[in-house]
Chains A and B, each alone.
Chain A
Amino acid sequence: MSSIDERLAALDPAARDPYEPRHLDEMISRIVSTSPASTRVPWWRRLQVRLAGGVVVAGALAAGTLALVAGGPTLSVLAVQSAYRSVPATPGTTFAAAAQVRVNFVAGASLGTQTSSSPVYELGVPGSSASTARHIAAVFGDTGALHHSGSNWVVRNDSGASLDYQTSPVPQWFYSSTTYRIAPATKSHVASVPMPSHATLIADASGYVSKLGYTYGLASPDFSSSTVSITNAAGAPAEQSQEQATFIVTLGTRTTDQTLSITVGSKNQLILAQGPAFRVRASATYPLVSARGGVKSLNSAEHALAGAGSSVPIDHVVLARAALSLSAFRLRDGATWLLPIYTYSSRTEKATTWSEVAVAPMYVHLHAGVAAALLHH
């Protein structure tokens, strides 16, 4: 027999027929424009505020209008300039164009109507890229000479170990214990000798993150083994078994589009490693549209890609699942932020997913092309 709590929960009228908020932005505009607010100065106005980048122009809060706000725990509109994802060169490379149809997305029954909120994060780049590159290199025992080219900094040891530190778009570090004159070739996808355990690799990766001083987390490790053919320092051919672990980088409870990976040999010696090199400079909590509500924005972007009056046939795709994660964007002022996105998938189109910024529309302004960059991948 179900517990009492379960029996009560089963009788919840809203569970059978939940309220779905509609036209909230219109309601807000209507209320604000016709009803005076209290003239008392609220206590939270005395708090400091950090403005999101690219916010301009004071004005009424309405769809598509940027608003400058200041003072207290209020929210600025996020002016997104670009997404750090690969962008289809032309609409012809998108899923829809490839299939010679225009897609109409339909929200499946499982997509929720509940709105929520999520932290967004401004990523900070250390003031001295040279010092940062040397610090990261030292963690891996690389104390060689520093070289600089554009946004790329390299510390290279006489032994051949090298550390690359890139400051843009999202700061990244890459370590290699050896600089091969001839790149290794994969011989097989299995190791020819016993390799360190997965638990050892997980501990290794966490240890590096801790030594590097980053506060992001690691989740969902994916492991793979291989045997590669290499040319050793003496110029002779050799084989090396490797074990690689790739992690999803997390902030708080959210996964991000960043990954960290390490590759070790049979003696757990580090061969390769790479990961993000950011620290969180600021964060704020923004309201999100529901997963179901995001489908409307998805359709707007898709229809904009297809063009007005498009005569291609329409294919209806039912979106069954929406995963919420953080993805990197560049704002108008050049700062990099991790913003929440919904990534939708369909039971029928298994090879394709579609993404949409999950922040409530009144708090985000997308530059032309950002939606297209997210739409198909």
Chain B
Amino acid sequence: MGAEEEARFARLVHEHSGAVGNYIRRRLYPLSASDLDDLVEETMIVVWRRLDRVPEDAELPWMLGVARNVLRNARRSKTRRGALEARLVPMSDASSAEDHVIADESVRHALATLSEDDREILLLNAWDGLDTHALGSYFVISTNAAAVRLSRAQQRFRELLNDAQVR
């Protein structure tokens, strides 16, 4: 029995650890390579413990949902390693991963003005490559609901971007 789970888990790790790592890197910055490895491993530990719940047709979005919780726990926890916590950049604050690389001020302003929910679904689609089906699995909503939310987030972003460029 153990060998079956191990093989499936190994496949999930090999196929999706890159995407999980990039998801975390986009939302916590700066982060050393070893700290990022630790957070990826924490995500994979949860995946291993709940392997029977990983849906066959939505493995990556499910795992990103786990990574999302790992990030939240990492920020909230006061018992984390001091060095790691000192380097965390809170996602909900004005300073974010985007701030460190954005040279396009209009886009930066539009992203910052979006609600957290709109920004999250917009970037999950634009950066993490999740389609509406995967977004539905990530947010535990229907595919249609995810499509509507994404469309609205994109529309609001375009409106904010146009406003920022007009000024």
Contacts and interface: CB of A to CB of B under 8 A. Distances in A.
A7 B49 CA distance: 39
Contact of A13 (B6, B7, B41, B97): B97
A314 to B, nearest CB: 28
Question: How extensive is the interface on chain A, given as a class?
Answer: 35 or more
B126 A287 contact: no
Given A9-B126, A38-B51, A14 B8 contact: no
B102 A11 contact: yes
B3 A38 contact: no
B78 to A, nearest CB: 24
A11 B101 contact: yes
- Candidate in A7, A42, A67 with the most chain B CB atoms within 10 angstroms: A42
A21 B21 contact: yes
A38 B52 contact: yes
Given A37-B49, A44-B56, A14 B25 contact: yes
Interface stretch (A112-120, A175-183, A192-200, A214-222): A112-120
B37 A38 contact: no
Interface stretch (B12-20, B68-76, B135-143, B144-152): B12-20
A11 B98 contact: yes
Contacts of B17: 21, 24, 115
Interface in A143-170: none
Contact of A68 (B3, B11, B13): B3
Interface string B73-109: 0000000000000000000000001101110100110
A13 B100 contact: yes
A23 B127 CA distance: 25
Interface string A1-38: 00011011111111011111111110110111001111
Contacts of B113: none
| Chain A interface helix/strand/loop/mixed | loop
Given A13-B26, A32-B9, A36-B49, A69 B4 contact: yes
A35 B48 contact: yes
Interface string B31-65: 00100110011001100111111001000000000
A42 B8 CA distance: 11
A362 interface: yes
Given A72-B8, A74-B4, A7 B52 contact: no
Interface string A63-85: 00001111111110000000000
B49 A35 contact: yes
A8 B21 contact: no
A287 B9 CA distance: 12
A28 B53 CA distance: 18
Interface string B112-130: 0000000000110011000
A45 B4 contact: yes
B68 to A, nearest CB: 16
B161 A4 contact: yes
Contact of A42 (B6, B25, B51, B100): B51
A21 B98 CA distance: 22
B8 A7 contact: no
A365 to B, nearest CB: 15
A20 B21 CA distance: 8
A40 interface: yes
A360 interface: yes
Interface of A: 4-5, 7-14, 16-25, 27-28, 30-32, 35-38, 40-42, 44-45, 58, 61, 67-75, 113-117, 287, 360, 362
Interface of B: 2-11, 13-15, 17-18, 21-22, 24-26, 29, 33, 36-37, 40-41, 44-45, 48-53, 56, 97-98, 100-102, 104, 107-108, 122-123, 126-127, 157-158, 161
5 contacts: A5-B126, A11-B102, A42-B5, A58-B3, A67-B6
